[in-house]
Amino acid sequence: MNNQKISNPKTEVPETKNMNERDYLNDLLETEKNMSVNLTIALNEASNEALYNKIKDIYESVKQSQRDLFELMFRNGWYCLEKAEEQKITQSINKLEQSMQELNN
pLDDT tens, 76-102?
999 888 888 889 899 999 999 999 988
Please list the residues that pair with 5 across neighbouring strands: 82
Within-domain flag for 68: yes
Within-domain flag for 11: no
Model pTM?
0.73
Within-domain flag for 92: yes
| Per-residue model confidence as pLDDT tens digits over 11-70 | 999 988 999 999 999 999 999 999 999 999 999 999 999 999 999 999 999 999 999 999
Within-domain flag for 4: no
Quote the number of domains for the chain. 1
Within-domain flag for 85: yes
Which residue range(s) make up the domain with 33?
18-104
CA distances from 15 to 6, 11, 19, 21, 24 (A): 24, 12, 8, 10, 13
